[in-house]
Structure 1
Amino acid sequence: MIKNIFFDFGAVLIPIDEIKTRRAFEELGALSALAQQDELFQQLERGEVKEEEFLKSISSFFFRKTILKKDLAKAWNALCHEAIPAESIRLVRQLSKKYDCYLLSNTNPLHLAQIKENSGRFAYKKFMDSFKDLYLSHEMGSRKPEKAFYEKVLKDHELNPEECFFVDDREENIEAAKALGIKTWHFNPKKDSILKIVKRLD
């Protein structure tokens, strides 16, 4: 019996478009090497580097050597182009009446600040307050699909993995959760609707 729901954030509860960020960087004159800096991006998500340090680091991957930090931040945040959908807020609030809901997100302060600005403080708070707990990678020092990420969630709340249901759009995150005995839904944002989650919980 499912008692706990673990939600991914981007591409599941809120639309994101990574192509927008890539194009925004290209318009600023990004070198092709920038797209290969996965470790740097992951360091930001783990909280191993702060926003200022991150922006300074990526500034070295551009043809122009004088790019304003605000322009870099705007380009980095381009993928967060929408507010949290009202239907996502309603869904989590409704499900939280029956299940313990948790947000498990690989994210960073820059993206969260942009989403908050897009959504408005009231709607953002209303959404976040619907979860029993928030597991944000930059606060945890780990990220999905690292085993430690999931184990902390389970340990913190003494959860039985078999009573947990996890929805995420990335296969590697799903497989890591499955390995711990967590029930999963590999969400496809192009064809799936998160509103259909209720049928999968039965």
Structure 2
Amino acid sequence: MIKNILFDFGDIFIDLDKMATFNELVRLGISEFTEEMMLFNQQYEKGLLSSEEFIDFYARQFPQATKEQLIDAWNAIILSFPERRLAWLEHHALHGQLRFFLLSNTNALHITKVKERMTLARYERFRSCFERFYLSHEIGMRKPDVEIFDLVLEKNDLIAEETLFIDDTKEHIDAADKLGIKTWNLIPGQEDVTELFIRKRDLF
């Protein structure tokens, strides 16, 4: 029986346009993400670079773009957070018997944009629904690295087989599966987190 749920954030609760950043960068003359860019992106997600260092890197690669344009492009991925999802989460956090945790790969610029899009009051309502709130750039780890799952399990005395991990990225799901964590690879646009207790009723 499931007693704990680890939720991803993007495309689970807040909607994303995963092509938006790339499309905006194309307009600025950036045609592809190089291996070096991908490495910088991952380092930034782990909090190993400041936002200033991160944007300075891209500004050096593409001097034709202003820093403001680069920040806007980076944040273009962030869309809206439907109120129905927040209401669903608040209801089950208040009335349910499950332990809720957030486990998200993100970064400082995106979180700032999320707060702006949601409003700070709604963001704090969201955050208060979780026992612990794990953001990759704050803890120096990112999915799908096994260490981030081990951290959550060990720090909170969770049993893998009693824990459900919900994420829209197959690579992250596969990593959790290997540890014996139950998983739901949610497909955005086809499934919704508010359907959890219908789609996964066999686990509860």
Task: Flag whether TM exceeds 0.5 (same fold).
Answer: yes
Q: Residue 88 of structure 2: which of 91, 97, 106 is its match? A: 91
* Separation in 2, partners of 1:33, 1:136: 23
* Separation in 1, partners of 2:27, 2:34: 13
Residues 28-107 of structure 1 mapped to structure 2, 5 A cutoff: 28-34=28-34, 37-62=37-62, 65-82=63-80, 84-96=81-93, 97-98=95-96, 99-107=98-106
* Separation in 2, partners of 1:15, 1:31: 25
Maintained 8 Å contact 1:6/1:165 = yes
Cα RMSD (Å)? 1.5
| TM-score, normalised via structure 1 length | 0.93
Q: Which residue of 2 aligns with 1:14?
A: 14
* Separation in 2, partners of 1:81, 1:163: 32
Q: Return the offset for 1:61.
A: 2.9
Residue 158 of structure 2: SS of its match in structure 1? coil
* Separation in 2, partners of 1:61, 1:187: 35
Q: Which residue of 1 aligns with 2:107?
A: 108
* Separation in 2, partners of 1:185, 1:81: 22
Query: CA 1:91–1:110 in 2, change beyond 3 Å: closer, same or farther?
Result: same
Moved over 6 A (4+): none
Maintained 8 Å contact 1:33/1:61 = no
How many residues end up aligned between the 2 structures? Answer: 199
Gaps of 5+ in 2: none
* Separation in 2, partners of 1:33, 1:146: 21
Maintained 8 Å contact 2:3/2:162 = yes
Percent identity between matched residues is: 36
Residues 190-201 of structure 1 mapped to structure 2, 5 A cutoff: 190-199=189-198, 200=200, 201=203
Out of 87-96 and 105-114, give the one that drifted further: 87-96
